[in-house]
Amino acid sequence: MRDRSTGHPRNAWYALAASAEVGSTPLGTRALGTPVVLYRAGDGSVVALGDRDAHRPYPLSLGHVDGDTIVSGYSGFAYDRTGACVRVPSQAQVPYGARVPSYPVVEEGDLVWVWLGEPSLAALRPPVSTPWLTDAGWDTFGGAWETAAGIGLLHDNFADITHVAVVDPVISPPALTGVAPALEVELTETTVHFHRDWPAAPLPEWQAKISGASTTASYPQREEGAFLAPGLWADRWDVFIPADEGGTQTFRFTHAVTPVDDHRTRHLWRVSRNFAPGAEASDVLRPIFESYYLKVREILETMQQVIDRDGYGEDVNVAADLAALQVRKILRRLVADEG
Amino acid sequence: MTTQPIVREFEADLKVVAAVEAATDVVTLTLAAEDGTALPPWTPGAHIDLVLGEDLVRQYSLCGSPADTGQYRVGVLRAPDSRGGSKAVHAELHEGATVRVRGPRNHFPLVASPRYLFIAGGIGITPMLPMIAEAEASGADWRLVYGGRSRSSMAFVDELAAYGDKVTLLPQDEAGFPDLDALLGSPAEGTLVYTCGPTGLLDAVEERCNASWPAGSLHLERFSAKAPTSDEQDSAFELVLQRSGLTLEVPADKSIFEVCREAGVSVVGSCLEGVCGTCETEVVEGDVEHRDSILNEEEKESNEFMMICVSRCRGESLTLDL
């Protein structure tokens, strides 16, 4: 049988930071085994360059931004947004061909997406639109951290939520405790959508409380997951409450996943909702979701340790893994296409 | 309650926003969602199904730009021997009409390479258009040889003019057939060959590449099923579906695809003749007798995947990841 690791394509948009993190102070980060520095140029647009001075092995992120350029904190070499060295302190002549790599950048939603693969393909593969992250109709909070596990383990996790009830019975919607209804999966060349229609069940207590909905009434619920790109999942949970009882309550869960290297993944997560607006409700919800995602992180890190120690096994797959297997198939092909 | 998953491909009714005569007997259709929403993304070499009627589903390569998320473009030749598909497209899909679209999917992906040789025959030019746009953007060294019956029958010649002498047009009535021996006689280091067009051309290209080119150099897409290579009698075998935990019997007169459907196992399929690749399934164990027109020799030998609409089992038992 083939290698169970799917790898990850380089030709994809990956989120390297939240928009709010990038300003006129350089931000050093890493993705796909590559050091990257992000900063905001004078016109407000984000610049992504290789985070290593061309003169000496010193990160540009330890330097400073000067207008549209970034200046090394050691050599004083200044680089423009294309990565070309435009000024050196020690001579009038700029060294011929001195440059650092520059990468295509797009800000979408409240995230900074960078293309670290073949640069010419960036324009041919538009990033996915995530309007709910910034739309006024949605209240959004989130977090970000690094998970010491390969991105494949995160994809597998997002492709099946039936484990939520096992991992965290307290936060799990009561609907999830029943037998899972049939999973419906919809495929395109590079995306996988799936959903399940759960039978009517009460809201979790915390959700009923912040939204003022009934804690006892049962409502039909729908779970949706969507692998939209190698670095982006957009999932949602709808509780169909009649309009005269307050209307449908929807959560959208956005997971931007970026391989730092083969064993570590940056996970930027966002929870958006169209009910119970305001900071007070967010303050109640944030620790609930944060503690769940931290539990998932711990589990995935343990899985990575098992793989590192004992290798990939012949995992037994069940019907619910259909979406995960389709995602792996897409990723394998995209990796193969890179030659 | 059943917990067997249901799997299907994206499907939508799209509007024909433009239908333009691109050459003699060739129409290009531009398709978009009625409400202008973005369509699923795709990469060069991808195709979609047009559902033209009950039991009338045809595959057409996407020939626009993957950067344009609002619309799909396909080019359709009115085939003289049409089994109804291209005739229906030409007769019914005028501007303003609606058509059911399924997909996209891709069994002809463009693998990154420093050099490409594209060989297109007739309407086989369609998947090549986004491919050469990508090859050009990436700075690859590429060449397209494009043959057709006559200059007036060759679509997209205007678009190709922008590429200058990287494109060789060979109208058969002026220049004869492409000289495949000259093009493919000796393998070129680090070059991938992509070809699409009439069966005769594909067979001829395949024969030359198999003779001397490194394995994996040739990528081709067929729009009609390859002639069967064996006339062996189909035999019955046992089919084990690992994930579903089912063991079924495939009789001599039924396909694996049919047997799965009858057992209530959700499988996706489209052309059901081994051309479109929709029903590709992972093989766990067993000796597959491949009868599709998609997998190359290397892929067939690897025994990792099979098209369950036409391919069968050589032995007594076959286990699939379903």
Domains of chain B as residue ranges with CATH: 11-105 (2.40.30.10), 115-221 (3.40.50.80), 237-320 (3.10.20.30)
Q: Do B242 and A317 touch (CB under 8 A)?
A: yes
Q: In this structure, are A168 and A290 located in the same domain?
A: yes
Residues of A in contact with B41 (CB under 8 A): 125-126, 188-191, 229
In a domain, A202, yes or no: yes
DSSP single-letter state for residue A7: -
Helix runs in A98-169, H state only = 151-158, 164-167
Residue A166 at interface with chain B, using a CB cutoff of 8 Å: no
Cα A221–A223–A228 angle (5° rounding)?
150
In the listed set A124, A158, A187, which residue is the last one of a domain according to the structure?
A124
Distance CA B266, CA B260 (A): 7
Q: In this structure, are A295 and A161 located in the same domain?
A: yes
Q: Do A325 and B321 touch (CB under 8 A)?
A: yes
In a domain, A223, yes or no: yes
In a domain, A2, yes or no: no
Q: In this structure, are A79 and A108 located in the same domain?
A: yes
CB pairs under 8 A between A and B: 117
Residue A118 at interface with chain B, using a CB cutoff of 8 Å: yes
CATH at A277 = 3.90.380.10
In a domain, A6, yes or no: no
| Mean pLDDT across chain A | 93
Residue A131 at interface with chain B, using a CB cutoff of 8 Å: no
Q: How far is CA A262 from the centre of its chain?
A: 16
Q: Do A337 and B137 touch (CB under 8 A)?
A: no
Q: In this structure, are A45 and A145 located in the same domain?
A: no
Overall domain count for chain A: 2
- Which residue is closest to A128 within chain B, CA to CA? B41
Distance CA A246, CA A199 (A): 20
Q: What is the pLDDT along chain B (322 residues), one digit of tens a residue?
A: 456 788 899 999 999 999 999 999 999 999 999 999 999 999 999 999 999 988 888 999 999 999 999 999 999 999 876 678 888 899 899 999 999 999 999 999 999 999 999 999 999 999 999 999 999 999 999 999 999 999 999 999 999 999 999 999 999 999 988 999 999 999 998 999 999 999 999 999 999 999 999 989 999 998 777 766 666 678 999 999 998 889 999 999 999 999 999 998 988 888 888 888 889 999 999 999 999 888 888 888 888 899 999 999 999 999 999 9
CATH at A27 = 2.102.10.10
* Token duo for residue A128: 């996915």
Give the domain range for residue A250: 131-337
Q: Do B6 and A190 touch (CB under 8 A)?
A: no
Q: In this structure, are A48 and A135 located in the same domain?
A: no
In a domain, A135, yes or no: yes
Residues of B in contact with A325 (CB under 8 A): 282, 321
Q: In this structure, are A89 and A144 located in the same domain?
A: no
Tell how strand B191-196 and strand B218-221 pair up: parallel
Q: In this structure, are A56 and A83 located in the same domain?
A: yes
Q: In this structure, are A104 and A166 located in the same domain?
A: no
Distance CA B64, CA A265 (A): 35
Q: Do B110 and A320 touch (CB under 8 A)?
A: no
- A248 and A241 Cβ atoms separated by less than 8 Å: yes
In the listed set A124, A151, A172, which residue is the last one of a domain according to the structure?
A124
Nearest to B3 among A123, A179, A337 (CB): A179
- pLDDT surpassing 50 at residue A2: no
Q: In this structure, are A108 and A228 located in the same domain?
A: no
Report the gap between the CA of A186 and the closest CA in chain B (Å): 5
Q: In this structure, are A194 and A94 located in the same domain?
A: no
In a domain, A29, yes or no: yes
Residues of B in contact with A317 (CB under 8 A): 242-243, 321
Q: What is the pLDDT of residue B3?
A: 63
Q: In this structure, are A141 and A119 located in the same domain?
A: no
* Residue whose tokens read 């067009």: B197
In the listed set A91, A124, A157, which residue is the last one of a domain according to the structure?
A124
- B188 and B115 Cβ atoms separated by less than 8 Å: yes
Residue A91 at interface with chain B, using a CB cutoff of 8 Å: no
In a domain, A172, yes or no: yes
- What ipTM did this prediction achieve? 0.92
Distance CA A298, CA A148 (A): 9
Nearest to B46 among A180, A185, A189 (CB): A189
Residue A339 at interface with chain B, using a CB cutoff of 8 Å: yes
Cα A46–A48–A50 angle (5° rounding)?
160
**Three-state secondary-structure class, residue B250:** strand
Q: In this structure, are A165 and A215 located in the same domain?
A: yes
Nearest to B5 among A319, A336, A337 (CB): A319
